[in-house]
Amino acid sequence: MNIESKNGTVVLRRTKEQAPPRSWRDYVIGRPLATADAPHQTISKKIGLAVFASDALSSTAYATQEMMAILAAAGTLAFGYVFPLSLVIAGLLFIVTLSYEQTIHAYPNGGGSYIVSRDNLGALPAKVAAAAILTDYILTVAVSISSGVAQVVSAFPNVFEYRVYLAIGLVLLIMVINLRGMRESGMIFAIPTYFFVVILYINVIAGLARYFLGPMGIGISSLGMVFNPPPLELATEQVAGVGLFLLLRAFSSGSAALTGVEAISDGIPAFQEPRSRNAGITLIWMSAILGTLLLGISFLAAHISAIPSAEETVISQLARTTFDGRGFMYIATIAATTVILVMAANTSFADFPRLSAITANDGLLPRQLTYRGSRLVFSRGIVALAFLASLLIFVFQASVTRLIPLYAIGVFMSFTLSQSGMARRWWKIGKLKPGEEIQEAASRLHYEPTWKTKMLINGFGAICTAFVMVIFAVTKFTTGAWVVIIIIPSLVLLFSLINRHYRELAKRLSLEHFGVPPLVHRSRVILPIGGVHRGTLAAVRYARTLSADVTAVHVSTDPEETRRIQEKWEVWGEGIRLVIIESSYRRFMEPLLMYIDEIYQKRQPNEVITIVVPQFVPRKSWTNLLHTNTAGALRKMLMFRKGIVITNVPYLVEE
Amino acid sequence: MNIESKNGTVVLRRTKEQAPPRSWRDYVIGRPLATADAPHQTISKKIGLAVFASDALSSTAYATQEMMAILAAAGTLAFGYVFPLSLVIAGLLFIVTLSYEQTIHAYPNGGGSYIVSRDNLGALPAKVAAAAILTDYILTVAVSISSGVAQVVSAFPNVFEYRVYLAIGLVLLIMVINLRGMRESGMIFAIPTYFFVVILYINVIAGLARYFLGPMGIGISSLGMVFNPPPLELATEQVAGVGLFLLLRAFSSGSAALTGVEAISDGIPAFQEPRSRNAGITLIWMSAILGTLLLGISFLAAHISAIPSAEETVISQLARTTFDGRGFMYIATIAATTVILVMAANTSFADFPRLSAITANDGLLPRQLTYRGSRLVFSRGIVALAFLASLLIFVFQASVTRLIPLYAIGVFMSFTLSQSGMARRWWKIGKLKPGEEIQEAASRLHYEPTWKTKMLINGFGAICTAFVMVIFAVTKFTTGAWVVIIIIPSLVLLFSLINRHYRELAKRLSLEHFGVPPLVHRSRVILPIGGVHRGTLAAVRYARTLSADVTAVHVSTDPEETRRIQEKWEVWGEGIRLVIIESSYRRFMEPLLMYIDEIYQKRQPNEVITIVVPQFVPRKSWTNLLHTNTAGALRKMLMFRKGIVITNVPYLVEE
């Protein structure tokens, strides 16, 4: 123990070091970790890539196919546009990556779109960014788990009936693994992520080798066409030729590949020191993998004449063409794709709790979300995410088709806000003199000579992503994007209400401009009694230590019992005044409350009324059912009155 | 207000006369009644007959048929035994009625089998009687409602799917009507009961008139055979002739007509004064109606060659034969029968709550059951009965066939116990000297010269009903009576556990042999704080009125926040000692409890530790979700420690 004495106040410090006792939770999520262990819980670049990239990388499993599905409206010849469009998307990815690279270095404590918007654009854009990205994290879990389950269902059709349970079961499994802590869950999830990356590279490299080099490296392609491709489904509306609108729609569908790129910027604090550097390098690796895989798959898909179809994925067609049939590599490719789709959910589990803790700390969400659980993760956020995603899965019956239109708008909205915020930040930096520094909430501004270039990069990124967002909103409005138009403003409203509550509360509780509070001059004690027994006497004894002015009150519903109580009181009541209230309608609570109200109305300023309630505490909890919980009911009724204090004196707790 | 001063204690009496404020309940169950209205809530003989006889009278709707269904195993010729068997049952009814008539006069405050057994046979037989009869009341509700619904279903087969909901709906309807009070519900239910009695008498008299007198009173029967009767269903096991066992089985099935005869003896206090006389006359009327209807129906059923069948009831065959087809009188008979079957449940609603209040008052059931609701009925018992019966209906899917074997054993068990108890009572009276009197718990014993005759009547009744009970148990054991063999002992065990709890509690709380309790010598106050704000200061001010020895405790999970609290405390803490407990594992509750435990271990005898918890009270209840309810959690954790008092100082309740 450590004793300090400052300004006349004695302060004792003591530390409770011992770990909490063992419990069943230890087996599920591991032993509790001390706060001091926090630095050891950060993750390396390798694990960071697995944790934060699984969402982005999983999109390579479907981005090409989504573009082709749109282009199919203009016939198979239009598939020739897939590779050029992929080049444009890769360009967009390059710009967004550059842009986020700058963000990561500017916000070493985490620079998600919420923080960047808050520091540079103001409260409302920040709330919009938070609403957009939180919604998107929930949707990511629901969509990716549902699509993973859909893959399982196409392999085992019997499972269809149980798909909702299976999906919710997977959500809960990922929840439990994440509750074990960032580091452990990262290690668990790293294996399937790297497996996916390796398998897809083998696919692309083998395909390209066969195409360009041929079997013996003699430059004659040995990669043929897809054997027996699925039939081309007729699009609902056929178009005559490839127009600009069709290309834009295909482009916007393909840009879904960019969802998940922002994940690392939200998760910087999870990385080992030097955080920004490690996170930045991880981002570059992620984008490089994402870009090359996308380009490779799109190139090959067009050249083998793959057909977008609900019956067989483009990845499947590519794998069986590259590896000549459904052999080991084909099976590995399909398995890796299924697993990565389920695991994309994990990125949300890494980021959603962190972002909700940040917004909760700013007073936009309940403060409880800032609490770090026994394994140093924001366990309440993890549980909340699992609950909300499970709810979505249940409501939409794990249907990817019904969930997907809600998805991705939020991501591009937050991209735009984040990059606009960064552009504004460079603008502010450009106005500083060399050597001048400003400390903002989450970053430090100091003059940089290259601010103009950097502003241009972020500004251009913002324009591009805003453009994609508009295309998304227009082309998908009727199929479900309108839901987002309702959800995001509702969330913003909720944030504002919560924030107003916390701010008003803080103002009301603030000690600034607060005079010395008035002393309590007088104290009255009211002691409701239901009988005269040892428990009552304990309460009487206690009540007498509080004040000389004690009144016992008995509400009478049975004259016979009241007579007995009165007789006993005359013996045991220590001369304390007893008020008997006869209740004509056999009510107990109302007459007592009316009496307390009367006393309360007549009280003097600075008088406190204490209600001392003898509370029966059973030794066995089932016996609670055999007693009326008057103490609890009284507390609820009286809590809303200022100047009334409720005291419970427990009885019958002898060992 | 009325002030008395006795033995130095001032007692103030005041009456809250005004009725409780209006609420939605008034529309459902009526305005609350003052306790002083109780005598006006008793019922007349006419209404008493309707309330307490509906159960017994409803059995005339099926007793004859049940006997014939058993006799059918020996072929249609065996139906000739129906009338002789009915005569035996009427004789049994006569004995049981005489026996209960004696009980009613001996126990003017209600003499159900529980009370008679308790006063004359001892605690265990009393518990068995209570268990048997309470179980039977619940079964009566479930069976009679289910059979009423079954009648509706045979008229409207579409309803079948909804039968469980319909049955539970009817239970709830009867519950609500009973919550209105005995007098009002009696008036509501009197009309259908009398309608049934009148309609059945018209059936029987018209039938007998046609049989004996003929159309013009010339003595030649004009009552023919049943036209187009339902086919005779083959019994599962055919027997060669009418043996003793078959007759006994038929007799026991027919004696189900006696269920409900005990109802009046349980309900004596509901009658107007002179209670015993009124209740006794009602009992005789009820038995007379029951006996004559049973004999009449059995006589006619045999003479028109009615066939027992699940397709058409015997009552239906009788009515269409007597009234030559399905005319108005036929429809009225069927409707009256359906309604009386549903209403038989009402007798249970009149008696179950009363009996459960009596047993609760004796400490066998939770005391809450003794509370009279706003309409002076034992509303909690009414609700409990409705709940339990609905549960049975739900579990057995409103199937009469599956419920009926559980039924009636309990009634005959309680008949037997009740009459044995009465026989023992007369034996005790026989030992008194003339003029001598003994007051027992529920009745007064004084010498009567006719005690031997009366003992014989009760004893003979006990033997007869015990005989029927054994027949019941043997003939129905495998089809469900074994369930009763489990339920009744379980209930007896439950009664014993509850009783032991109340008795031990009373012993522990008793002031007999209790010295003057020790004075509280020292008082320590512990004040857990989560921050320093106006709410904390209010709690500090209050804590200082309790004791000079106040310690504030802060559990630190965030060093930054702790530093701020410490700084503020130095300004605002009024010099009170602050203990900061550093919690390595971010737990709040455990370190605080460990600290309190330490203080608690070191306390002196007669020292009280008061925990003053500042409790945040939101103005809008939704904002509760935005705060951790530390006060509530602490209260739960600390309640089990003797010598620790928990005080809540509410804050933020300004208007």
The chain B residue lying nearest A589, using CA atoms, is B20
By Cβ distance, the residue of B511, B639, B654 closest to A533 is: B511
Size of interface A-B (CB pairs under 8 A): 265
Looking at beta carbons, which residues of chain B come within 8 Å of A517? 534, 537-538, 541
Q: Say if residue A559 is preceded by a cis peptide, omega within 30 of 0.
A: no
The chain A residue lying nearest B595, using CA atoms, is A16
Report whether pLDDT(B220) > 70: no
> Quick one: tokens of A632?
């609890």
Give me the pLDDT at residue A6, please: 67
Q: What residue has token string 């696919």?
A: A203
Q: How far is it, in rounded angstroms, from Cα B568 to Cα B578?
A: 11
Mark yes or no for CB contact A647/B644 under 8 Å. Answer: no
Task: Tell which residue, A227, A321, A300, has the closest CA to residue A64.
Answer: A300
Neighbour tally for A329: CB within 10 Å: 18
Query: Is pTM, for the whole model, over 0.90?
Result: no
Contacts of B238 (CB under 8 A, 6+ apart): B73, B74
Mark yes or no for CB contact A511/B517 under 8 Å. Answer: no
Q: Which amino acid is at A429?
A: I
Radius of gyration of chain A (CA): 33
Give me the pLDDT at residue A1, please: 58
DSSP B271: B
Q: What is the mean pLDDT of chain A?
A: 85
CA-to-CA separations, B568 to A506, A509, A535, B531, in angstroms, rounded: 15, 13, 40, 9
Mark yes or no for CB contact B13/A635 under 8 Å. Answer: no
Long-range own/partner contacts, residues A30-35 (CB < 8 A, 24 or more apart): A30/A180, A30/A181, A30/A184, A30/A375, A31/A374, A32/A374, A32/A375, A32/B585, A33/A181, A33/A374, A33/A375, A33/A376, A33/B585, A34/B584, A34/B585, A35/A372, A35/A376, A35/B557, A35/B584, A35/B585, A35/B586
CA-to-CA separations, A643 to A599, A601, B532, B654, in angstroms, rounded: 12, 11, 19, 10
> Which of the pair, A9 or A158, is modelled with greater confidence?
A158
Q: Which of residues 42-61 of A touch B (CB under 8 A)?
A: none
**Is residue A653 very low, low, confident or very high in pLDDT (cuts 50, 70, 90)?**
low
CB B599 within 8 A of CB B609: yes
Chain A interface includes B584 (CB < 8 A)? yes
Give me the pLDDT at residue A235, please: 55
- Taken in order A36, A38, A41, A45, the sign of the CA dihedral is negative
Chain B interface includes A371 (CB < 8 A)? yes
By Cβ distance, the residue of A541, A571, A582 closest to B13 is: A582
Q: How far is it, in rounded angstroms, from Cα A362 to Cα A193?
A: 34
Mark yes or no for CB contact B537/A576 under 8 Å. Answer: no
DSSP codes joined into one string, B146-178: HHHHHHHHHH-GGGGGGHHHHHHHHHHHHHHHH
Report whether pLDDT(B233) > 70: no
Strand partners for B522: B607
In this predicted model, what pLDDT tens digit does every residue of A481-504 receive, in sequence order?
777 888 899 999 999 999 998 888
Averaged over A340-361, what is the pLDDT?
A: 89
Q: Which residues of A118-152 are buried (b: 16+ CB within 10 A; e: fewer)?
A: bbbbeeebbbbbbbbbbbbbbbbbbbbbbbbbbbb
Q: In terms of C-beta density within 10 A (0-12 exposed, 13-18 middle, 19 or more buried), how is residue A375 classed?
A: buried
Chain B interface includes A610 (CB < 8 A)? yes
Q: Which of residues 16-35 of B touch A (CB under 8 A)?
A: 16-17, 19-20, 32-35
Q: How far is it, in rounded angstroms, from Cα B532 to Cα A510?
A: 9
Mark yes or no for CB contact A12/B535 under 8 Å. Answer: no
Averaged over A282-298, what is the pLDDT?
A: 94
Looking at beta carbons, which residues of chain A come within 8 Å of B594? 16
Averaged over B38-52, what is the pLDDT?
A: 85
Start-end of H helices in B72-225: 82-106, 113-120, 123-155, 163-179, 182-212
Percent of chain A with pLDDT over 90: 26
> Which of the pair, B128 or A14, is modelled with greater confidence?
B128
Q: Which of A132-136, B23-27, B326-330, B359-363 has the lowest mean pLDDT?
A: B23-27
Beta strands in B409-529 (DSSP E): 437-439, 444-446, 522-528
Give me the pLDDT at residue B218, please: 64
By Cβ distance, the residue of A511, A620, A645 closest to B648 is: A645
Q: Which of A287-291, A367-371, B522-526, B636-640 has the lowest mean pLDDT?
A: B636-640
Residues in chain A, how many?
655
Give me the pLDDT at residue A17, please: 60
Q: How far is it, in rounded angstroms, from Cα A573 to Cα B51?
A: 47
The chain A residue lying nearest B608, using CA atoms, is A542
Neighbour tally for B258: CB within 10 Å: 25
By Cβ distance, the residue of A9, A571, A577 closest to B573 is: A9
Q: How far is it, in rounded angstroms, from Cα B350 to Cα B378?
A: 10
Averaged over A296-311, what is the pLDDT?
A: 87
Radius of gyration of chain B (CA): 33
Q: How far is it, in rounded angstroms, from Cα B425 to Cα B119?
A: 9
In this predicted model, what pLDDT tens digit does every residue of B616-640 receive, in sequence order?
877 777 777 778 777 788 888 877 7
Report whether pLDDT(A22) > 90: no
Q: How far is it, in rounded angstroms, from Cα B265 to Cα B281?
A: 12
Q: How far is B112 from chain A (nearest CA, A)?
A: 24
Given phi > 0 = left and psi -120 to 50 = alpha, else beta, which region is B643? left
Strand partners for A632: none
Q: Which of residues 498-557 of B touch A (CB under 8 A)?
A: 498, 501-502, 505, 508-511, 514, 517-520, 523, 531-535, 537-538, 541-542, 544-546, 557
Give me the pLDDT at residue A655, please: 40
DSSP-based three-state secondary structure for A253: helix
What does residue A43 show for φ and ψ, rounded to 5 degrees?
-120, 155
Chain A interface includes B231 (CB < 8 A)? no
Q: How far is it, in rounded angstroms, from Cα B448 to Cα B435?
A: 9
CB A89 within 8 A of CB A254: yes
Q: How far is it, in rounded angstroms, from Cα B256 to Cα B411?
A: 9
In this predicted model, what pLDDT tens digit does every residue of A438-447 receive, in sequence order?
888 778 888 8
The chain B residue lying nearest A500, using CA atoms, is B623
In this predicted model, what pLDDT tens digit does every residue of A551-585 receive, in sequence order?
999 988 888 888 999 988 888 888 889 998 888 87
* Interior angle at CA B157, CA B155 and CA B162, nearest 5: 115
Q: How far is B266 from chain A (nearest CA, A)?
A: 23
Averaged over B560-579, what is the pLDDT?
A: 88
Highest mean pLDDT among A41-45, A649-653, B23-27, B80-84 belongs to B80-84
Q: How far is it, in rounded angstroms, from Cα B141 to Cα B341?
A: 10
DSSP-based three-state secondary structure for A358: helix
By Cβ distance, the residue of A32, A508, A584 closest to B15 is: A584
**Is residue A150 very low, low, confident or very high in pLDDT (cuts 50, 70, 90)?**
confident
Tally helices (H) and strands (E) across chain A.
Answer: 22, 9
In this predicted model, what pLDDT tens digit does every residue of B332-353 receive, in sequence order?
998 998 888 888 888 899 889 9
Chain A interface includes B377 (CB < 8 A)? no
Q: Which amino acid is at A261?
A: V
Rounded to the nearest 5 percent, the helix, strand and coil shares of chain A are: 65, 10, 25
Chain B interface includes A599 (CB < 8 A)? no
Mark yes or no for CB contact A505/B652 under 8 Å. Answer: yes
- Taken in order B383, B389, B395, B397, the sign of the CA dihedral is negative
Chain A interface includes B608 (CB < 8 A)? yes
Report whether pLDDT(B163) > 50: yes
Mark yes or no for CB contact A9/B645 under 8 Å. Answer: no
Q: Which helix (H) or strand (E) holds A284?
A: helix A275-303
CA-to-CA separations, A39 to A379, A401, B242, B527, in angstroms, rounded: 18, 42, 92, 34
By Cβ distance, the residue of A8, A535, A590 closest to B575 is: A8
Q: Mutual orientation of helices B534-546 and A534-546 as an angle, nearest 10°?
A: 110
Report whether pLDDT(A18) > 70: no
Averaged over B362-375, what is the pLDDT?
A: 86
Give me the pLDDT at residue B93, please: 93
Q: How far is it, in rounded angstroms, from Cα A628 to Cα A614?
A: 12
CB B223 within 8 A of CB B436: no
Q: How far is it, in rounded angstroms, from Cα B201 to Cα B60?
A: 11
Report whether pLDDT(B655) > 50: no
> Quick one: tokens of B567?
């700084």
Q: How far is it, in rounded angstroms, from Cα B577 to Cα B571?
A: 13
Q: Say if residue B231 is preceded by a cis peptide, omega within 30 of 0.
A: no
In this predicted model, what pLDDT tens digit does every residue of B427-442 receive, in sequence order?
999 888 888 888 888 7
Q: How far is it, in rounded angstroms, from Cα A130 to Cα A362?
A: 12
Q: How far is it, in rounded angstroms, from Cα B205 to Cα A449?
A: 116
In this predicted model, what pLDDT tens digit does every residue of B115-128 receive, in sequence order?
999 999 999 999 99
Q: How far is it, in rounded angstroms, from Cα A515 to Cα A497?
A: 29
